[in-house]
Chain A
């Protein structure tokens, strides 16, 4: 039978394709049905026990007061306008409207970024449609820069000192919002695990200090 070898080749080919499709299908199904969340900071990004003793770049002189307009974090491709934020009736920081996915806010009644003290910026990690402005904030690492465009035309440049994640029930108010004797910045979004009942369990907080301006 001269056709037998050809058939054998065809069968072998089909067997190979079948095996390949089986593996590929299993892998795709696994990837597709797995719930994946925003990146979270590793323990290595936490604040060092003795601040100032590490390789932290020296601080820059405080800038004069001017409201911020825009925040840029090039390493995680953030480039978003900033709106003024107030407080909720409960005293927590209000948030930008969630439907605006590329919009962050700053605490207007507090310190402006670049001025001596602690300036606070917050933005959504996601909204009902998917990732939002600070989705990748948890992937930010020490030493990276954050730039804030200010209305007086200057750009305040901050360097990241730490990226930490806190449970909502144990949020360190003083550490995050407390006064500072140099220009500092906090960038906050949701994080710390997610459950259907309670939503995100806490916040990712980026700590940075002013290291330059232009």
Chain B
């Protein structure tokens, strides 16, 4: 009885550990595809931090006709990175790129193949809203110090006037 209860507790603990570990493993980002909008013939870079310490994965871009490729540790910590070329014959559309981590689990990302290149993309227009005026405030520390200094001056002035009124001279 005691043994089975212990076993149950152990199983529960393991399940809890698996539950908490699983999202951290698979949930730390999907497969980042760059450029997400590519033209036929372009080289696409994918990377992910989801493969954990192994940092290697088997990439699959067969959906777009680019076959398989390898993701190896990238220039970034915790990053697995790989490249493939979109076939020149690729048709416009959205394709799912898959990376199977060598330690288990897989991530996916979308690649959009467009007719026109990204240099034909719409540029932004107009000004950019990059501030709210929060740095324009006054300086409360200096203001407080100024008030304190003026209080000292007032006290000194009062004392001097008081002495003078008593005829003690300055």
Q: Are the C-beta atoms of B121 and A109 separated by less than 8 Å?
A: yes
Docked-complex contact A18 and B156, CB < 8 angstroms: yes
* Inter-chain contact A200/B47, CB cutoff 8 Å: no
Interface-facing stretch out of B8-16, B85-93, B138-146: B138-146
Among A32, A37, A108, A179, contact of B143 (Cβ-Cβ < 8 Å): A32
Contact between B130 and A22, CB atoms less than 8 A apart:
no
A sample of 29 inter-chain contacts (CB < 8 A) reads A18-B156, A21-B150, A21-B152, A25-B147, A25-B148, A29-B143, A32-B141, A38-B135, A66-B45, A67-B35, A90-B126, A98-B132, A107-B124, A122-B128, A123-B130, A126-B136, A127-B131, A130-B135, A151-B34, A151-B74, A151-B75, A151-B76, A153-B75, A166-B127, A173-B123, A173-B125, A189-B130, A199-B132, A199-B133
> Which of A6-14, A43-51, A52-60, A156-164 is the contact stretch?
A6-14
Is the Cβ of B153 less than 8 Å from the Cβ of A21? yes
B25 within 8 A of A: no
Determine if A22 and B135 form an interchain contact, defined as CB atoms under 8 angstroms apart.
no
Indicate if A89 sits at the interface (CB-CB under 8 A).
Answer: no
With known contacts A15-B170, A18-B156, A28–B149 Cβ distance under 8 A: yes
When C-beta atoms are compared, the residue in chain B nearest to A95 turns out to be: B130
Residue contact A65 to B43, C-beta cutoff 8 Å: yes
Considering the chains assembled together, what is the distance between the CA atoms of A22 and B160 in angstroms? 14
Given contacts A151-B47, A151-B74, list 18 more A-B pairs with CB under 8 A.
A14-B156, A21-B153, A22-B150, A25-B149, A32-B142, A32-B145, A92-B127, A98-B132, A120-B124, A127-B132, A152-B45, A173-B125, A188-B128, A189-B131, A190-B129, A196-B133, A199-B131, A200-B130
Within 8 A of A (CB), among B38-86: 43, 45, 47, 74-76, 81
| B124 in contact with A130 (CB, 8 Å) | no
If A18-B156, A29-B143, A69-B76 touch, whether A34 touches B127 (CB-CB below 8 Å) is no
Specify which of B35, B127, B145, B156 is in contact with A203 (CB 8 Å cutoff): B127
Docked complex Cα distance between A83 and B149 (Å): 47
Contact A32 B146 (CB under 8 A): yes
Point out the residues of chain A lying under 8 angstroms from B148, CB to CB: 25
| B146 pairs with A26, CB closer than 8 A | yes
What CA separation (Å) do A168 and B126 show in the bound complex?
A: 7
Tell whether, in the assembled complex, residue A95 and residue B160 are in contact, meaning their CB atoms are under 8 Å apart. Answer: no
Tell me if A2 counts as interface (CB < 8 A to partner B).
Answer: no
Q: Distance (Å) between the CB of B149 and the closest chain A CB?
A: 3
Question: What's the Cα separation between A15 and B125 when bound, in Å?
Answer: 63
Q: How far is the CB of B150 from chain A (nearest CB, A)?
A: 4
Given known A-B contacts A120-B124, A171-B126, A202-B127, A129 and B134 have beta carbons under 8 A apart: yes
How far is the CB of B110 from the nearest CB of chain A, in Å? 14
B150 A177 Cβ-Cβ under 8 A: no
Residues of A within 8 A of B35 (CB): 65, 67, 108
**Hey, which chain B residues are within 8 Å of A124, CB to CB?**
130-131
Q: Which residues of A have CB within 8 Å of B137?
A: 35, 130
Q: Which residues of B contact A95 (CB under 8 A)?
A: 128-130
On whether the beta carbons of A32 and B140 are closer than 8 Å, the reply is yes
Contact of A200 (CB < 8 Å), options: B119, B133, B151: B133
CB contacts (< 8 Å) of A32 on chain B: these are: 138-146
Q: Are B136 and A37 in contact, with the CB atoms below 8 A?
A: yes
Q: Which residues of A contact B121 (CB under 8 A)?
A: 109-110
